[in-house]
Amino acid sequence: MPAYMVIDLEIRDQAAFEDYQKSIPALIAKHGGHYLVRGGRFEVIEGDWHPHRLVILQFPDRGAIHAFLTDAQAQSLARLRWQAAKTTIVAVDGVA
């Protein structure tokens, strides 16, 4: 069953974030993931959520998400992302 990562990024250091952006796509692909949404315009239709920059990734399953997040290289890049942005990440299962 596919699983998705929904990510809300509040970028605080654009230059450092660009370094992260250059390196992370290959790691996402290594774990079977791909981008569905990468930034872009959005509209809050209902509720009080105020996202900053949205990214939605699709992976083959939740195990692939956890393999990606615990990958040593991804952990190293996460430290760079944490310095450059405040991040909220949610994993959600898709429909079979």
| Count of structural domains, the chain | 1
Distance between CA 39 and CA 51 in Å, rounded? 11
Residues spanned by the domain of 12? 3-41+51-93
Residue 41 has pLDDT above 80, yes or no: yes
Domain contains 46: no
Q: What average pLDDT does the segment 53-74 reach?
A: 97
Region for 71 from its dihedrals, namely left if φ exceeds 0, alpha if ψ lies in -120 to 50, beta otherwise: beta
Distance between CA 56 and CA 86 in Å, rounded? 16
Residue 96 has pLDDT above 90, yes or no: no
pLDDT band at 29; cut points 50, 70, 90: very high
Q: What is the pLDDT of residue 40?
A: 87
CATH of the domain at 27: 3.30.70.100
User: Which pTM was predicted?
Assistant: 0.91
Q: What is the pLDDT of residue 46?
A: 96
Q: What is the pLDDT of residue 2?
A: 97
